[in-house]
């Protein structure tokens, strides 16, 4: 999952200011292009926590426009985003999904917790319980 970002040179402070049109909460800056990309990944990941904490659907990345750069999220985070979005779209909470998976609500809460390490197989099982299929591909 890669989000388009705008890297705008900061004439006063130097470096670059980075913004994401799909994730308006994500704004950062870096001293140079490499630092700005590092900071962009960091703020994008941190911004995902807002959506998870508020149980809001995470916007899908849009197609990049001219001049934008793609900033990637870890695959584990992308899988958790897809799961959260599917749960929200189907209006299924952790308790209901736990019953569908024959597990505890606490385990489902860990599946949608960005700070908890989760095996991708469990996320796949959750998606199957929701009637969806999780796929990985090589680009």
Contact 84, 78 (CB under 8 A): no
Predicted confidence (pLDDT) per residue in 40-96, tens digit: 999 999 999 999 999 999 999 999 999 999 999 999 999 999 999 999 999 999 999
Return the pLDDT at 109. 93
Instruction: Kindly compute the dihedral angle of the four CA atoms of residues 108, 114, 115, 117, in this order, to the nearest 10 degrees.
Output: 60
CATH 3.10.20.600 assigned to domain 2-72? The reply is no
Q: Which residues pair with 18 in a beta bridge?
A: 7, 28
Domain ranges across the chain: 2-72, 75-129
Contact 25, 50 (CB under 8 A): yes
Predicted confidence (pLDDT) per residue in 92-111, tens digit: 999 999 999 999 999 999 99
Q: Global pTM?
A: 0.89
- Spatial distance between the Cα atoms of 44 and 75, rounded to a whole number of angstroms: 13
Q: How many CB atoms lie within 10 A of CB 47?
A: 18
């Amino acid at each position: 999952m890669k989000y388009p970002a705008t890297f705008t040179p900061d004439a006063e402070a130097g470096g670059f200011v980075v913004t994401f049109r799909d994730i308006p909460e994500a704004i950062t800056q870096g001293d140079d292009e490499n630092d700005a990309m590092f900071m962009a990944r960091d703020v994008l990941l941190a911004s995902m926590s807002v959506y998870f904490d508020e149980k809001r659907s995470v916007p899908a990345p849009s197609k990049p426009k001219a001049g934008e750069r793609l900033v990637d999220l870890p695959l584990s985070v992308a899988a958790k985003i897809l799961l959260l979005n599917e749960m929200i779209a189907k209006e299924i909470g952790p308790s209901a999904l736990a019953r569908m998976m024959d597990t505890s609500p606490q385990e489902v809460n860990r599946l949608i917790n960005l700070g908890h390490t989760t095996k991708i197989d469990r996320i796949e099982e959750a998606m199957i319980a929701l009637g969806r299929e999780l796929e990985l591909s090589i680009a």
